[in-house]
Amino acid sequence: MSDKNINIKLKVWRQNGPNDAGRFDNYEMNEIPTAASFLEMMDMLNEKLLGEGKEPISFDHDCREGICGACSMFINGRAHGPDNAVTTCQLHMRKFKDGDTITIEPWRAKAFPVIKDLMVDRYSLDLIQQAGGYVSVNTGSAPDANSMPIHKDIAEEAFDAAACIGCGACVATCKNGSAMLFVGAKVSHLALLPQGKIEAKERAQKMLAKMDELGFGSCSNTGACEVECPKEVSISFIARLNREYLVANLKD
């Protein structure tokens, strides 16, 4: 792979705090190696701002391997930028061309207030998990792991749902700001497995109720979330969630 250097212009959202109106600031960056990751480019920009005695841009990140779900930028109108099945930290500058202008915004959703610049508050996603995203089992009470065989295909499908990294790209992409893909992923992951099946209905009910309460929108099946999900979580899991929910409500 031959990598080179490019010059780019950046339009970055700067916002001092939740109550600040916010604005775009423009920056120019020259000689950016295309082998660099997008966040390394942001590091270089911050280093440059520091050199000028200015405050660097705040953004969330940690693992830089596409698994912790911390990084969260809206790049050129797309959550995690112009590549498929990646997080912002896995996006590389070779996806951009010399002379490009790149617009960078925070996740925008009612349930994700901006903390500063590109950093938003996603604690609402934790609150949804706390509402029911678990199997009620205490440490030490588990039977032997092989006592309950699980079909390989089922385990694989459960993994596909469990792959969600809780980044919130689905919410930021959805025009209604809904968290249905996120909830569908957890409900399906656990409902598919015998261990999680038992509480499946109550789980779906509780997590959805919490989602509504926290100001997430409802799902109108446009499928935009699936396209931007870095872990390619399928919207078929929303259908499964709806089934679990329906069964739950019929029973009540």
Partner 1 sequence: MINLDAKIPQGKLAEKWTNYKENQKLVSPNNKRKLDIIVIGTGLAGASAAASLAEMGFNVKVFCYQDSPRRAHSIAAQGGINAAKNYQNDGDSTYRLYYDTIKGGDYRSRESNVFRLAEVSANIIDQSVAQGVPFGREYGGTLANRSFGGVLVSRTFYARGATGQQLLLGAYSGLNRQIALGKVESFPRTEMMDVVVIDGRARGVVVRNLITGKVSSHFGHAVAIGSGGYGNVFFLSTNAMGSNGSAIWKAYKKGAAFANPAFVQIHPTAIPQHGDYQSKLTLMSESLRNDGRIWVPNKLEDAEAIRLGQKKPADIADDDRDFYLERRYPAFGNLVPRDVAARAAKERCDKGYGIENNATKEGVFLDFKYAIDRLGQKTIEERYGNLFQMYEKITGDNPYETPMKIYPAVHYTMGGLWVDYELQSTLPGLFIIGEANFSDHGANRLGASALMQGLADGYFVLPYTIQNYLADQFDVKRISTDSDEFKAAENSVKAHINRLMNVKGKKSVDSFHRDLGKIMWDKVGMARTATKLKEAIEEIKILKKEFWENVEIPGDTNTINVELEKANRVADFLELGELMARDALNREESCGGHYREEYQTPEGEALRRDDEFMYVAAWEYTGDEKEPILNKEKLVFEETEVKVRNYKTAK
* Residue ranges in contact with ligand FES by CB under 6 A: 61-64, 66-71, 87-89
Sort strands 114-116 and 119-120 into parallel, antiparallel or unpaired: antiparallel
Q: For residues 98 and 126, which CB has a smaller minimum distance to ligand SF4 in the complex? A: 126
170 binds ligand SF4 (CB under 6 A): yes
**Residue 170 touches which of ligand FES, ligand SF4, partner 1, none (Cβ within 5-8 Å per kind):** ligand SF4
Sort strands 5-14 and 101-106 into parallel, antiparallel or unpaired: parallel
Collapsed DSSP state (helix, strand, coil) of residue 92:
strand
Collapsed DSSP state (helix, strand, coil) of residue 201:
helix
8 A C-beta contact, residue 228 and residue 181: no
**Residue 204 touches which of ligand FES, partner 1, ligand SF4, none (Cβ within 5-8 Å per kind):** none
> For residue 208, what are its two tokens?
């959805």
Cα–Cα distance between 231 and 210 in angstroms, integer?
24
Sort strands 73-75 and 114-116 into parallel, antiparallel or unpaired: unpaired
Q: For residues 10 and 161, which CB has a smaller minimum distance to ligand SF4 in the complex? A: 161
CB of 63 to ligand SF4, least distance (A): 14
**Residue 71 touches which of ligand FES, partner 1, ligand SF4, none (Cβ within 5-8 Å per kind):** ligand FES
Residues that bind ligand SF4 in the complex, under the rule CB under 6 A = 164-170, 181-182, 185, 229-231, 233
